[in-house]
Structure formats: structure tokens, C-alpha cells
Amino acid sequence: MDNNGVGSWLHRRRRKSGARTALLFAAGTAAGTLTYEELADRTDRLANALRVRGVAKGDRVAYLGENHPSFVETFFACGLLGAIFVPLNTRLAPPELQFQLQDSGARLLVNASSLEPSASAAVEATGVTHRLVIADDGGTEPSAAEPPAAVGHSVTVEHYGEALQAATPDHPDVAVGHDDGAMILYTSGTTGKPKGALLTHGNITWNCINTVVDMDINRNDVALMISPLFHVASLDMGLLPMLLKGATVVLEAKFDPARVLELIREHKVTTLNGVPTTFQLLCEDRGWDTADLSSLDKLTCGGSAIPQRVLDAYEDRGIGFTSCYGMTETAPGVTMLPVDRSRDKAGSAGLPHFFTDVRIADPLGGVVAPGEVGEIQISGPNVIMEYWNRPEATAASYSDGDWFRSGDMGYRDGEGFLFVSDRLKDMIISGGENIYPAEVEAVISEHRAVGSVAVIGVPDDKWGEVPQAIVTLREGESLTAEQLRGFLDGRLARYKIPKTLVVVDDMPRTASGKIRKMELRKQL
């Protein structure tokens, strides 16, 4: 085979275990199962359908939808052609989606019919020329004779299922190597605009190998995917390692605690990935005490520290957690805290993954002694080498050429366990979603009443932390939290919209005029 990238995985898996179940799902009219042979066949067809519509190696194909077999098919079809997959967060507002389509240069968008309004609005003024609409995702199914109408510039809109059915079943074999780009994932930055992390086929492959090795994944595992696949942790540490190993994945489009508990029993789920909020809501569900959790043996939690009360609730049921630390730029695994060290190393992010290295550096790039705080820097084949069309950001993100600068502060103890102590980038993690204040501040500053603005994270019992806006007002203006939320609705994803508003007379600033957020937090 000429294709040595992730796109070849299903073909390789088809010849080894084609009859085994790859996906279990229940999404609208698409409820059912797909074996590895069936999934590989559908992916071949989709790749050929994309190629007929002009997609070639290096082109970008975007996807907008919840967890669904078409997400998996589109990812692997792009890999077969050497095209670059661009998953979009379904919670983003149309202007945010439009920016990512423009910035990536996507030429084709696959979208769920339930997200038609966002999709049709987002493709305006972009390079998207084709859209394939998934009609079996639980949305309103369009008539087979009348595909959804294209709006604005010339966009050909077709049915995903019909395009698949009409395509040839031949297996494409495009030359793809580990250094070729596989996926662009957008991560917000301190400049206020998201930047695309370009993950290569090698980045994804090595991250999956790390996960398979460190999590002891085997072909008999059954993973329930309750976190959105457009998040790198769900995709690269949940779905893909399972398919690489030939295990079974249960796709769930929406998170409902009671349903999750039932799915665990019904499918004898062994593996569950999530964020602290996810696991908290599960153990607080009324069916928790009587739920059959006997099959569960791998719980992976990332995003932030697990509250002690949540850890206790699961350990009382005989289930332990593996905690993870990572980021989009590392595809995403950096460290993992094994279950058997969750107590004596409480608060630690764990040890580096098998093929990943971590160091703690001082401002000059020198390695600091154990116990001393410095910047967490990462090296390994899972670490990206560039941001999409952002050479300046790429250059600023590396130390000594090979070490990625995380922007997080931390230290390692005498045994090498990592402890994360602070976030240089002021990132807010709310229910597992990353929120970068600069992005939110840039939109709030457009309000005519706002003089200056700072966004910080404040504790929240349910989500861990939520954004709070602190503003000064222009002379003669007034602003309420409700008015601000109304202004931001439709401009930002709702999880990014500040839950509270504080109006102050002045902001503490540095000599250069920058707002001192640490001092601001103390004042509030």
C-alpha cells in the first residue's frame, strides 16, 4: 500500500477483523451497527465521492455535526485521499465557524441537517464550493428530490447518503506519509483569534500508540463516546486508539446521564472518557446507586483536576480514574496518572506518555531542578510542528527547536510526576471546554458601552469554572449582565459567554497599559 497514514487503518483492519463490530450508534434514522468491513467499504465510497467533487491531496474538508458514523467516515475518507480533515465545534456561532472555514481554506463541508442554519450561514464568503448534508442525524430530513437550497455564492448542496450510494466502491490508495498533514484543529490564542494546529498522520499515529500502550487497550474493549468527537481528546484518545486496536465504539450524540448509565449496562462498556463535569453528573444521577457498572475498567478524565467527592463516588463503586494532561498541539496526550497512583500522587498530572518527553524550563530555556516551578515543555512524535499559516506563532511556540512551549507552569517531583501549578495563557476550562479570555474580550469590546474589559475564570460547582466579565463603562453608558449576554448571543458560543458581569471604575494596569488580571482577581 502507498498510504501509510491514518486513512489506511480501516482497510488494514478490514483484512484482519472485518466481521467484528466497529461502531454501535443510535442517531435519528441511522441507528444500528457497522462492522469493520462495512465501515471500510463506506469510507472507500465516500473518498471516491469527495474525489469526484474535486477534493485532492492537501485540500481541506470540514465537518460540522455531533457524534455520528459520518464523522468517522469523513475523517478516514480524507485520510485515504491525503486531504486534511477540519472538525468544527457545533457550539460555535456562525461568524466563528465562518472564520475557521476561511482560515483553513476548506473547499467542502459535510454537515448535519440539524445544523443547516449554522452551516448555510457559515459558508458565506468562504471558499466552500460543495456541501454534503447528513439527513439521518435526527434533524429534519430533506426531500430526496429536492436537496437543501444553496444560498449566497455558488455552493452545490447534495445529500450525503445519496453521494455515498452513487460513488464507486474501489479502494483508493494515495501515497500518504507520516509527515503529511491529516487534521487542522482550532485552538484559541492570546491574540483573540483561533489558530489551527496542523496534526500530521504521524502525530495522530504516535498519540494513538501512546494511548494503546499506557491504557492497555485490547480488541475486546467497548468504548462509549459521550464527549464530542470534534474535541481532540475524544477523537485521538477515545475513538481512534480503539479502532486502531480493533475494539468496538459506541457513538452517542448527546450526553444524558441516565441514558449513559443504561448504555453502559446494555453494551457492557469497558471504557469511558470525559471531563470532571461529565463524571460528576453521572454519579449525581438518581440511577447511580443501582446502575450496573460491573463492566467498566477504564475511566479517563482530562481538562482539569477531579474533585475529591467525585473520585470518592467512583472508588466506592470499585472504579478508579486515570487522569490525563494534554493539549491540542500534542495530539493531545502529554502525561497520564495511573489508577494505582491516584491517591498517593493526588493532584499530579502523572508521568509522560511512553513516546513523549516532558521538561520544566526556566525563562532562558534551562532545565530546572525537581520541585522548582517553570514552564512545561513537551517533545515527541505526537507534537505538532506548525500552526496552519501562522509562521510567527509557530516560531514563538518552540524552544531549542524541538520543545513545544505549553504556556503552562508546573514542576516535577523526585519521581518525575508532573504537577501543573498555573496557566500562563489565562485559559479558562469550563466543563472541559477551553475558553481563551482574549477571544471573548475582543467581542465584548465591540459593545458601545464598554470602555475596557477583562475576562477571568471564577469557580463554579457544576462546570469547574465559568467566565466572568469585568468592564469599565464609557461616560454616560450603562450595561447589565442580561444586556451583555444578549449582545454576545450569536457572536460567541454560549459556553464562552460570561455568566456574570462586574462593573468597575478603573482597571489595575502595568506600566505598559496591560490589565493586571492577578491583581484584579484579588480585588474582586
Hey, is 515 helix, strand or coil? Answer: strand
* One domain for residues 235 and 383: yes
Q: Domain containing 123 — which CATH number? A: 3.40.50.980
- Using alpha carbons, select from 267, 270, 203 the residue that is nearest to residue 235: 203
The residue from 423, 455, 472 where one domain ends is 423
Mean pLDDT of 281-306: 92
* One domain for residues 314 and 414: yes
- Is the predicted pLDDT of residue 143 greater than 50, yes or no? no
Q: Is residue 469 part of a domain?
A: yes
Structural domain including 41 reads 37-177
- Is the predicted pLDDT of residue 392 greater than 80, yes or no? yes
Q: Domain containing 268 — which CATH number? A: 3.40.50.12780
Considering the chain, what percentage of its residues have pLDDT values greater than 90?
77
pLDDT recorded at residue 291: 97
* One domain for residues 214 and 341: yes
The β-bridge relationship of strands 403-412 and 500-503 is unpaired
Considering the chain, what percentage of its residues have pLDDT values greater than 70?
93
Give the chain's domain count: 3
Mean pLDDT of 341-355: 92
pLDDT band at 189 (very low <50, low <70, confident <90, very high): low
CA-derived radius of gyration, the chain: 23
Mean pLDDT of 297-315: 86
pLDDT in tens, 203-223: 999 999 999 999 999 999 999
- Using alpha carbons, select from 348, 354, 385, 379 the residue that is nearest to residue 365: 379
Q: Which of 26-35, 101-110, 393-402, 478-487 has the lowest mean pLDDT?
A: 26-35
- b vs e for 233-270, b when ≥16 Cβ sit within 10 Å of the residue's Cβ? bbbbbbbbbbbbbbbbbbbbbebebebbbebbeebebb
- Using alpha carbons, select from 22, 24, 27 the residue that is nearest to residue 38: 22
Cβ neighbors of 271 (< 8 A, separation 6 or more) are 215, 217, 221, 222, 223, 224, 238, 242, 296, 297, 298, 299, 300
Mean pLDDT of 79-94: 97
pLDDT in tens, 37-78: 999 999 999 999 999 999 999 999 999 999 999 999 999 999
Q: Is residue 389 part of a domain?
A: yes
* One domain for residues 410 and 266: yes
* One domain for residues 153 and 242: no
pLDDT in tens, 410-441: 999 999 999 988 766 678 889 888 888 878 98
Mean pLDDT of 488-502: 95
Q: Is residue 22 part of a domain?
A: no
Q: How far apart are CA 460 and CA 72, in angstroms?
A: 34
Q: Is residue 161 part of a domain?
A: yes
Q: Is residue 2 part of a domain?
A: no
Task: Measure the CA dihedral 43/45/51/56, to 10°.
Answer: 20
Q: Is residue 223 part of a domain?
A: yes
* One domain for residues 145 and 244: no
Q: Is residue 184 part of a domain?
A: no
- Using alpha carbons, select from 351, 373, 349 the residue that is nearest to residue 361: 373
The β-bridge relationship of strands 84-88 and 60-64 is parallel
Q: Domain containing 515 — which CATH number? A: 3.30.300.30
Contact (Cβ atoms closer than 8 angstroms) between residue 520 and residue 469: no
Mean pLDDT of 188-216: 89
- Is the predicted pLDDT of residue 382 greater than 70, yes or no? yes
- Is the predicted pLDDT of residue 12 greater than 70, yes or no? yes
* One domain for residues 332 and 418: yes
Q: Which of 20-29, 95-104, 238-247, 278-287 has the lowest mean pLDDT?
A: 20-29
* One domain for residues 370 and 458: no
- Using alpha carbons, select from 519, 469, 475 the residue that is nearest to residue 496: 469
Reading across the β-sheet that carries 500-503, which strands appear in turn?
Answer: 450-460, 464-473, 500-503
Task: Measure the CA dihedral 100/102/107/113, to 10°.
Answer: 50
Contact (Cβ atoms closer than 8 angstroms) between residue 383 and residue 425: no
C-beta atoms surrounding 445 within 10 Å: 13
Cell of 100: 475557521
Rounded to two decimals, the pTM is 0.88
Q: Is residue 27 part of a domain?
A: no
The better pLDDT of the pair 439, 405 is held by 405
* One domain for residues 302 and 396: yes
pLDDT recorded at residue 191: 54
Q: Which of 22-26, 96-100, 306-310, 420-424 has the lowest mean pLDDT?
A: 420-424
The better pLDDT of the pair 176, 523 is held by 176
* One domain for residues 324 and 459: no
Q: How far apart are CA 382 and CA 207, in angstroms?
A: 5
pLDDT recorded at residue 447: 94
The better pLDDT of the pair 18, 431 is held by 18
The better pLDDT of the pair 337, 192 is held by 337
Q: How far apart are CA 109 and CA 76, in angstroms?
A: 15
* One domain for residues 391 and 437: no
Q: How far apart are CA 391 and CA 394, in angstroms?
A: 5
pLDDT band at 400 (very low <50, low <70, confident <90, very high): confident
pLDDT band at 501 (very low <50, low <70, confident <90, very high): very high
pLDDT recorded at residue 265: 97
* One domain for residues 216 and 316: yes
